[in-house]
Amino acid sequence: MSRLANKTALITGGTSGIGLETARQFIAEGARVAITGSSAASVENTRKEFGDKALVIQSDAGSVEGQKDVARQIEQAFGHLDILFVNAGVAQFGPVEGWTEADFDKSVATNVKGPYFLIQALLPIFAKGAAIVLNISINAHIGMPNSSVYALTKGALLTFATTLSGELIGRGIRVNAVSPGPIATPLYGKLGTSEADSKAMASQIQSQIPAGRFGDAAEVAKTIIFLASDEASYIVGSELIIDGGMSNL
C-alpha cells in the first residue's frame, strides 16, 4: 500500500513500542521517516533495523533545545514535514505522597513541555496539509490510582489536540490524537516495579478490559496511519480511543 507515498514524517519515541511499529508501517506505506529515541542503545538498534530507510536521531524529549535541534535536522534532511507523530513520553506511577519534585518535573518536561516546543520549532517547515497526531492515553479520562502525574501530563497533551487544532488549521495543519488503552509494549517493563508487581498490575488491568486482552502496537499504528493520511482530511481536533472498551466501563 502507499497511503503515505511522498510524505515526510517524524516519529518521536520511535525506537520501541508503538513508535517503532508506527515507523515500520509508515515506511511500508511509502513515507520518508525520521525517528527520535532517548538512549544510545535503542537508537543504534533502530539504525541497524532500518538502515537508510530512516533517519534516526538521539534526542532528549524533555529538552527544549533538543527539540530545536531535531527540527533543524528534519529541515536539513527533508526540507519540509508532512506528518508529526508525537509519541515520546515517560510513564511513572506512584501514590501522591511518593512523588518528588524532580520526578514530577521530568514527567511534565518529557510529556508536555518537549512536545509543545517541538511543534513550535517545526511550524516553519510544516507543509500545507500537514498532520500532527498526539499520543495521549485513556489515563487522561479515567481515575486510575497512582496515575495522578501521568494522567495530568496526558490531560494537558489532550488539550493541545483541541486548542492547537483550532489555531493551526488556518495554516493547513490538522491536529488530532489517539488515546490507547493497555497496549502490549515494553512500557510495562519500565515502571520501576518488581516483576511480580508488574505481572499483578497487568493481570488487574486486563480484568478491566471488555475485549479481554491487551491491545497490539500494530492496531494503534494503523489508526495513526489513517489520521496522518489524506483519508482523514476532514478530521480536525478529534481523539480516537483505542482501549478495547476499557473506558466505557
Residue 57's nearest CA partner among 30, 92, 23, 91 is 23
Q: Quick count: other Cβ atoms within 10 Å of Cβ 213?
A: 10
Sheet holding 239-242, edge to edge: 54-58, 32-37, 8-11, 81-86, 126-135, 174-180, 239-242
User: Could you tell me the pTM of the whole model?
Assistant: 0.92
Q: Give the residue numbers marked as catalytic.
A: 150
Angle, helices 114-122/148-168, rounded to nearest 10 degrees: 20
- CATH, domain 8-241, list 3.40.50.720, 3.40.50.1820, 3.30.1950.10, 3.40.50.300: 3.40.50.720
The tens-digit pLDDT sequence of the chain (249 residues) is 699 999 999 999 999 999 999 999 999 999 999 999 999 999 999 999 999 999 999 999 999 999 999 999 999 999 999 999 999 999 999 999 999 999 999 999 999 999 999 999 999 999 999 999 999 999 999 988 999 999 999 999 999 999 999 999 999 999 999 999 889 876 555 555 566 777 777 788 888 888 888 989 999 999 999 999 999 999 999 999 998 888 876
